[in-house]
Every structure is written in C-alpha cells, then in structure tokens.
Amino acid sequence: MPLTRISLRAGKSPDYRAALIRGVYRAMRETFAVPEDDLFAIVHEHDAAGFAYGRTYLGIPRDDDLVLIQITANATRTTGQKRALYRAIAGNLADDPGVRPGNVFINLVEVVPENWSFGEGAMQYGPPETT
C-alpha cells in the first residue's frame, strides 16, 4: 500500500534508479510489513535548477547525489518500525547503488486507510459501503 516517490538529480543510469526502488521496497518488506507485490514507486529526475537542498542542514553533509524519498503509507506503524525502516533504506542504498547515508533523505507521510483506491474506483481499505 505504500506509494514511494524518489527524487534525484538527472543523469543516473536506469540500473541506478532501479536499485533505488529495489532498496526502498526491500526495506519496506523487511521492516514495515509490506506484502509481496505491493510495489508502487515513481522516480523523478530533476535538473540543477529544479533540485534545491540544504547542503549541511542538521550538520549532515549532502551533495548532488542526494536522494529524496517520500513514502505515503497508512498510519499504522510504530516509532520503532519507522526507525527500522529509515535505517534499512539507508543501509540498502549504501550497498546498492552506493548512496552515501547522509544523502538519503526520507519523508514519511501517514494517511488514513480510506484515502486509497487501488483501482476500479473502489475504496479497498475503507469501511463497508452502506446503501
């Protein structure tokens, strides 16, 4: 059910972008109880003028290899699960495709279950419809 948006500077290879998706998805499967095949991810590439960031915000050095990850998911996870997710994503992306952990920025957006439609105009996670 998570929707993952990954933003980065333009110019990375298709293999690099695919590794980003794999690393985030694997972390969600391992730490966030995301079922198999529940994969919805979009990679956005930006030129220099469309990609701004704080190079040292909170004392964390960042450079043009920064990867911004926004995950929209149901508000059902514990703080511990969220911490585990952030660590797993940073670790996975360090391993492949080689993103420095300081360049992994994650934003989790939590929503109520009825805010999803996975197709056919249905509210799959909402309360039963009454007539």
Q: How far apart are CA 61 and CA 4, in angstroms?
A: 24
Q: Element (H or E) spanning 114, and its range?
A: none
> Known catalytic residue: 14?
no
Q: Element (H or E) spanning 1, and its range?
A: none
Question: From residue 47, how far is each of 11, 40, 56, 57, 97 by CA, in Å?
Answer: 9, 24, 20, 21, 20
Q: How far apart are CA 85 and CA 15, in angstroms?
A: 23
Question: From residue 61, how far is each of 56, 68, 71, 103 by CA, in Å?
Answer: 5, 14, 23, 8
The residues assigned a catalytic role are 2
